Amino acid sequence: MPTEQVLPLELIDKCVGSKIWVLMNGEFVGKLLGFDDYVNMVLEDVTEIEPGVGKQHLPKLLLNGNNICMMIPGGEGEDVWEE
């Protein structure tokens, strides 16, 4: 039985300032600078991974929260699928 509950948005709030891995249609790995109530996010130093297309670097972007499936703190997304 858990003694301490961490709400989903609290978890994301703890990630502000550190790397995060975002899964949607494609994937994004970058430093989370901020987010709003819709979980639209500002990411910095981003790698966009498009399935079947490849990777590209983007310096800073605003990501629409509407299509986000999953967010993983740590941002090791570039390494997990390698091999």
By the criterion CB under 8 A, which residues form the site for another protein? 24-25, 33-36, 40-42, 46, 53-54, 56-64, 66-67
* Pick 4 or 10: Cβ nearer another protein: 10
Q: Which of 51, 57, 48, 42 is nearest to 28 (CA)?
A: 48
* Pick 42 or 72: Cβ nearer another protein: 42
* Pick 3 or 25: Cβ nearer another protein: 25
- In the complex, the smallest distance separating the C-beta of residue 70 from another protein, rounded to whole angstroms, is 16
Per the DSSP assignment, residues forming a β-bridge with 44 are 31, 60
Q: Are 3 and 52 in contact (CB under 8 A)?
A: no
Q: Which two tokens stand for residue 4?
A: 């301490």
